Structure 1
Amino acid sequence: MEKRLVYLDRLKIFMTVLVVLHHTAITYGGAGSWFYYEHQDNVVVNTLLTMFTAVNQSFFMGLFFFISGFVTPASYDRHGAANFLKGRLVRFGIPLLFYMLVIAPLLQYVSSGHEGSLGQFIQEEIVSNPLRGVMGFEVGPLWYLEALLLFVAGYALVRRLTAGTTRRHRLDLSPRLMAGYVVIVAAANFVVRLAYPVGEEILNLQLAYFPAYIGLFMAGVAAYRGKWLQQLTQGAARKWKWAVLALIVSMAAGMALGGAMEGDISVFMGGVSWQSAFYATLDPLMGLGISYVLLVSFRERCNGTATKSTGWLSTNAFLVYILHALFVTYVAFALRDLEWNPMIKFVLVGCAAVLLSYTAASLIRRIPGVKKVV
C-alpha cells in the first residue's frame, strides 16, 4: 500500500471550506444557483462576489474530480471490482438518499417562501409526503456524488473489459498533453453549451461543465499510474501563477466588454457568440493553471507529518460537504433582517457555516455505524 499523501488531505480540506464560502457568496450577490438569495443593488459587491465564484468554478470541482480519479485505481486494485463498486455505492448512495429525504425538504422551506413556521412546513410538506425528496430527485451540491457514481462505474467497466490484456502504456505528463486537454475541453464546452447552456441541468447535472470534469477524472487516473504529481515543478507553478493572474484580469475585461456589467451574463453561458467561446476557453485554461499551482504549493508547503487537527478536519470534510448547504442557507436566512453590508454578511455567514458544519459532522460521526459510510 502506498504512503498516504498528507498534502492531498490538506488540499481537500481547503477546497471543502472553499465550497462553503462559494455557496455563501452566491447568497449575497455572486453568480450561480442557490436556495436563498439576498442580492442587493450593489454593483461593486456583486462584481467581486461573481469574480470569486467564477474563479472558483474554473477549478475547484474539477480538482475534486482529479483527486477522486487519482485515488480510484489503488482502491480498485485493493478491493476488486465487486467490492470496489459496492463500497462506492454505499459511500455515495446513502448520503444521496439522506440528502433527498432529510436535507432537501428542509431547504425547500426557505426556497419556497412558505409563510408558516418550519414546524408547519414539516407537517404539511414532509410528514404528509415523506417520499417527496426521493421522487423529486433533488440532490443539490451532492450532484458531485451522483457524477462520481457514474465515473467510477465507467472506470470499473473499462477495467473489466481490458482485464487480461497487455499492460497499459503510462501516459507521460507534458506541455503538449496539457495544451491538448485545454483545446479539446474548450471545443467540447462550446459545443455542449449550444444545447445545454451553463445553468441548465439534466438529472441535477450541469453538462456544460462536464467535458472538464470527465477529462480531469481521467487525468487523475493517469496521474496515479504515471506518477504525475511528482513531475509537477515549482518553476512551472511560478509561470502558472503569472498566467492565472493574467487570465483573471482577462476574464474581468472580457466580461465587461461582453455586457456583463449590465447584469446579463447569459450570452457567456452558451450559444453562438464570441462571449460563449471566450468563457468556454478561459474556464478550462484558468482551471488547469490554478490546479497546477495549488497541487505544487500544497505538496511543497503542506506535506509534513499529519497532525491530529489535520486528521480531524480531513476525516470530517466529506460530511461537511454533505451538510453545508443546510447551514449556509439557514444561517443566512436567520440573519436576513440585519441591515449590514453584504460583504460583512458573506464573511460572517461563511465562517459560521464552516464552524457549524464541522461541529455537526463531528457529532454525527459519533453515531454508531455512521463512520462506516462517511
Structure 2
Amino acid sequence: MEQRLIYLDRLKILLTVLVVLHHTSIVYGGAGSWYYYENQDDTAATALLSTFTAVNQTFFMGLFFFISGFVTPASYDRNTAGGFLRARLLRFGIPLLIYMLVLEPILRYVSTGYTGSFGNYLKEEVLPHPIRSVSDFATGPLWYLVALLLFYAAYIGFRKLTGRLDGSKHPLALTPRLMISYLATVMVANFVVRLAYPVGTDFLNLQLGYFPAYIGLFMAGIAAYRGHWMQQLSERTARKWKWANIGLILLLPAGMMAGGALEGDISTFMGGSSWQAIFYAIIDPLLGLGITYALLVWFRNRWNGAATKTTRWLSSNAFVVYIIHAPIVTYTAYALRNLAWHPLLKFGLTGCASVILCFTIASLIRRIPGIFGLARKSGRAEVSG
C-alpha cells in the first residue's frame, strides 16, 4: 500500500490551478468551449493560448482520473460496495445538483447575451424554468464527477465479478511493453471513437472522444496502487520523457498549422479519416502519458516532504474550487471586459485573480454548517481515498 501521498496532494493543487487557468485562457482566444469570450481576433494570442489549452488537454484531466483510480481500491476496501457507492453519490451528487440548479442558470446570463438586468433575467428566464439545467443535464465542468460515478459503478461491478482481492495477489507489472500497449490501444480507440463522436461533440455532456485515455488512466491508477508503481517510476525514464515532451509540444502546434489551423478551422483534427485526425489521435495520448510520467516522478522526488499548513489549506479547498470556478472565472472576465489590455495580459490578470478568488471563496464555503463536512470529505476523497 502507498503510504506517502503528500506529493499527490500537491499535484492535485497544481491540476486544480491549471483547470482555472485553462478555462480562463479560452475566454481570451484559447481553443475550447466556455461561457464567455473576448478578443477572439488576435492571431498571436489565439495561437499561444490554444497551444496552452491543447497541451493541458493531453494530460490534466487524465491525470485527475489516474489519481482517482489510485485511491479507489483502498477506499473500496474500507467499505462495503453499497457504502462506497453511497458515499460518492452524496459527495458528487449534491455538487452536481447545486451546479445545475444554481450555478448554471447564473452562467447563462452571460453566455446567452441577455441584455436586461440580472434581476430581470432571474425573473424572466430562471424562475419560470427552475429545472431547465437539470433536464438539459447541464453539468458544465462537473462532467468529471459524472464520469467518476460511472467509473466507480464499473469498478464495483468488476470487484463483484472478480472477488474482493482485486488482483492484489498478482498485480500488473509496470513494463515498457505495457506502456506501449496502452498507447497503441488509446491511439486506435481515439481514432475510432472520434469517427462517431468528434472532439467538441458530447453525449450527456461527456466528450467521448477523450474517454479512451480517461478510462485507461483510471484503470492504470488502480493497477498502480496494487502493483506499487509509484516506487517503480524511473527518474531516468522521466528525463527521457521530458525531452520527448519538449519535442512533442513543439510538434503539436506545427502539425496544427500544417493542417490548416491558422485558417481558423480545426475540425479536421477533431475526428474523421483525415491525416489531421490521425495526427491528433496519436499525439494526444503520447504527450499525455509523457507529461503524466514526468510530473509523477518530479512531484514524488521533489515535493514529497511533510505537508505544510499552506499545502493542507490548498488541498482541502481544491475540490470546492473545481465546483465553483466556472462562475468565478466567467464573472471576473466579464467584470474586466472594458479593460483595454492585450488579451495575454488580461489572461494573466483574470487568471491570477480567479485562482485567488476561487480558493478564498472555497475556504469560506467550507465554513458553512452542513457544508463543511461534505466539502472537507470531498476535497480529500480524490487524494486520500
Q: Residue in 2 aligned with 1:197?
A: 198
Q: Is the 8 A contact 1:197 1:208 kept in 2?
A: yes
Aligned length: 374
Q: Residue in 2 aligned with 1:245?
A: 246
* 1:79-158 correspondence runs (5 A): 79-158=79-158
Shift of residue 372 of structure 1? 2.6
State the TM-score, normalized to the length of structure 2. Answer: 0.95
Provide, for residues 231-284 of structure 1, a one-character-per-residue CA deviation record: whole Å limited to 9, x for no partner.
001111111000001111111211111111111111000001110000000000
Shift of residue 109 of structure 1? 0.4
Provide, for residues 152-176 of structure 1, a one-character-per-residue CA deviation record: whole Å limited to 9, x for no partner.
0100111011226895521000111
Q: Say which SS state the counterpart of residue 358 (structure 1) adopts.
A: helix
Shift of residue 68 of structure 1? 0.2
Q: Say which SS state the counterpart of residue 172 (structure 2) adopts.
A: coil
Q: Distance in 2 between matches of 1:41 and 1:120?
A: 32
Q: Residue in 1 aligned with 2:350?
A: 349
Q: Distance in 1 between matches of 2:4 and 2:175?
A: 25
Greater displacement, 9-18 / 364-373 = 364-373
Shift of residue 339 of structure 1? 1.4
Q: Residue in 1 aligned with 2:299?
A: 298
* 1:1-374 correspondence runs (5 A): 3-163=3-163, 169-374=170-375
Q: Distance in 1 between matches of 2:344 and 2:166?
A: 57
Shift of residue 4 of structure 1? 4.3
Q: Residue in 1 aligned with 2:379?
A: none
Q: Distance in 1 between matches of 2:320 and 2:280?
A: 32
Q: Percent identity?
A: 65
Q: Is the 8 A contact 1:268 1:278 kept in 2?
A: yes
Q: Distance in 2 between matches of 1:166 and 1:246?
A: 38
Provide, for residues 300-330 of structure 1, a one-character-per-residue CA deviation record: whole Å limited to 9, x for no partner.
1110000111000000000000000011100
Q: Is the 8 A contact 1:63 1:291 kept in 2?
A: yes
Shift of residue 128 of structure 1? 2.2
Change (3 A) 1:310 1:164: closer
Q: Distance in 2 between matches of 1:163 and 1:41?
A: 56
Greater displacement, 199-208 / 116-125 = 116-125
Gaps of 5+ in 2: 376-385
Provide, for residues 320-373 of structure 1, a one-character-per-residue CA deviation record: whole Å limited to 9, x for no partner.
000000111001111111111000100111111111111111011001121332
Q: Residue in 1 aligned with 2:382?
A: none
State the TM-score, normalized to the length of structure 1. Answer: 0.98
Shift of residue 2 of structure 1? 5.5
Shift of residue 120 of structure 1? 1.1
Q: Is the 8 A contact 1:94 1:373 kept in 2?
A: no
Q: Name the aligned partner's letter for residue 256 of structure 1.
A: M
Q: Is the 8 A contact 1:92 1:145 kept in 2?
A: yes
Q: Name the aligned partner's letter for residue 295 of structure 1.
A: L
Q: Say which SS state the counterpart of residue 79 (structure 1) adopts.
A: coil
Change (3 A) 1:139 1:165: closer
Shift of residue 129 of structure 1? 2.2
Q: Distance in 2 between matches of 1:366 and 1:239?
A: 45
Change (3 A) 1:202 1:359: same
Shift of residue 134 of structure 1? 1.3
Q: Name the aligned partner's letter for residue 29 of structure 1.
A: G
Shift of residue 41 of structure 1? 2.0
Q: Distance in 1 between matches of 2:41 and 2:162?
A: 57
Q: Say which SS state the counterpart of residue 80 (structure 2) adopts.
A: helix
Change (3 A) 1:318 1:166: closer
RMSD of equivalent CA atoms: 1.2
Greater displacement, 112-121 / 275-284 = 112-121
Q: Distance in 2 between matches of 1:202 and 1:169?
A: 36
